[in-house]
Amino acid sequence: MELWDLYDRDGNKTGETWKRGFGNYKKIADDRYHMVCDILVKHVDGTYLLTKRHPGKDVYPGFWEASCGGSAVTGEDPLTCAKRELFEETGIRSDDFILVSHTFRDPSHSMYYSYLTIVDCDKNSIVLQEEETVDYKWVDIKGFLDYIDSDLSIKTHNNRYASYVSSCRKGTLVTEITEELLRNQDIKYRDMQVKIIPNIEADSIIGVRTPVLRKLAKDYAKRPDIEEFLSAIPHQFFDEDQLHAFIISEMKDYEKCMKELNAFLPYVNNWATCDQMSPKVFKKNRKDLLDEIEKWLKSDKTYTIRFAIGMLMEHFLKEDFKIDYPKKVAKIRSEEYYVNMMIAWYFATALAHRYDAIIPFIEKKKLDTWTHNKSIQKAIESYRITDEQKDYLRSLKIKR
């Protein structure tokens, strides 16, 4: 007798169990789910394992599938289940599991943990589990994608691995990078990012911490084939965008850096990638950079404009400052929150560094009302602004 723990939609155990029977998963209550783990097996040589389901299975009998796995029994956590199922169905032991997706499927009352494992085993040593699988084969990347695209594949399985398969279609390096990002996932960090970057799809955020991404960027930037990744835009993951931005920031050749930056900027879709991208080579090329900033300020892309303002703030406030620069920023009118917030940030920072030159912009109300007040608010929060200056700035707020 096999017993399953039941879970709610948040993935929490309810304290209930379910006795498995042929097809009786359909009778599980609508708001309850049992845990299922499936595992995509990739060999270190780049081939993938396909297995053929037993003809007596109650779901997809006789189908080939690109993953093995099954239901967790009472008391098992996802990794314990995945390790057991992998060994039982293939004879492969592995401790290297990369979580690709965590999804729910209502028709089967299933909560899926879908993993990728990369193994270095004897490819002829697969042990098929009686009544579960009846055949197997290893296929190269083309064979894997041909299987995914065929009518003989199990589409619900494919959907759980859709993001990973999308990377496979973009080339070997992109696939490798996706695997590395997934390997470095931090779920708590991902959940935090979902909250603070609300304008992008939550499913596009893997949750790789910035120090890890910066280290990976330094390593990948040295790769002779990095162009494969840089040209694979738009990326499907926020973390890929972050990695792309950090790779550009590491480039030492100004012309190459600017070429890659201008190709990438139209695809930047969030404040974090925009604000954390800061090419080091710009410091020695300020004159040429100004010409590019002029173009970016005229863009119709939210984050291209935001990036332009950010570069003026970073490179032309402390050094090479001219009053023409804040004049250009003050003239910008936008309905975009992330543009106006950057304008406010620019003027608050400018007040801290160039108070006497910038205060007339506030006194003469050169900004729209929201941005004017937000600039004052952010300036007052700065320790670089004196208490006397803060009191004066408060008096300049526009009452609505």
Given a cut of 70, the residues of the chain with pLDDT beneath it are none
DSSP of 124-183, one letter per residue? T---PPTTTEEEEEEE-HHHHHHHHHSTTS-HHHHHHTHHHHHHHHT-HHHHHHHHHHHH
44-53: b or e for each residue (b if 16 or more CB lie within 10 Å)? eeebbbbbeb
Here the tokens at position 22 are: 């042929």
pLDDT of residue 152: 83
pTM for the full predicted model: 0.91
Q: Domains in the chain, ordered, with CATH? A: 3-167 (3.90.79.10), 170-280 (no CATH), 285-400 (1.25.40)
Residue 195 CA, chain-centre distance (Å), reads 13
186-213: b or e for each residue (b if 16 or more CB lie within 10 Å)? eeebbeebbeebeebeeebbbbbeeebb
312 to each of 63, 280, 335, how far by Cα in Å? 59, 14, 21
pLDDT of residue 307: 98
pLDDT of residue 131: 81
Nearest to 258 by CA among 329, 311, 317, 302: 311
pLDDT of residue 15: 92
- Cβ contacts of 204-212, under 8 Å, gap ≥ 24: 204/236, 204/237, 204/238, 205/237, 205/238, 205/239, 206/181, 206/182, 206/237, 206/238, 206/239, 207/239, 208/181, 208/184, 208/239, 208/242, 209/184, 210/242, 210/276, 212/184
pLDDT of residue 398: 95
Count, residues in the chain:
400
Q: Which residue has the tokens 């526009």?
A: 398
H/E element, 362: helix 355-363
**326, 358 Cβ separation under 8 angstroms:** yes
pLDDT of residue 59: 79
Burial of 68 (0-12, 13-18, 19+ CB in 10 A): buried
pLDDT of residue 297: 97
Would you tell me how many other CB atoms lie within 10 Å of the CB of residue 366? Answer: 17
